[in-house]
Amino acid sequence: MTDQYLTLSFRGNVVSEDVSYRVESSPDLVNWRADPVQISVIDDGDGAFTETWRSAAPTSAGKALFFRLGVRVFLSP
């Protein structure tokens, strides 16, 4: 965690226009929300980028919070 916010970072390919990403959070691994906040996108200079997301609200001690990353690839017919 960073500054009491849960964070998630991942790398993607800069030229992959047929891929989309979705970050979601859940307090219970059952109910998911697309409420995390994107805080940075960095071009890594090697054909990849790094995105960092954080929870919408600070986390509290003793409260569970989970992230998941959805990746969707659009295939040409």
Q: pLDDT tens digits for 6-63?
A: 999 999 999 988 999 999 999 999 999 999 999 999 999 999 999 999 999 998 878 8
Where are the domains positioned within the chain? 7-72
Q: Is the pLDDT reported for residue 73 higher than 90? A: yes
Q: What is the 3-state secondary structure (H, E, C) of the chain?
A: CECCECEEEEEEECCCCCEEEEEEEECCCCCCECCCEEEEEEECCCCEEEEEEECCCCCCCCCCCEEEEEEEECCCC
> Is the distance from CB of 62 to CB of 24 less than 8 angstroms?
no
pLDDT for 3 equals: 63
> What confidence category does residue 77 fall into, taking pLDDT thresholds of 50, 70 and 90?
confident
Distance in angstroms (rounded) separating the CA atoms of residues 5 and 65: 10
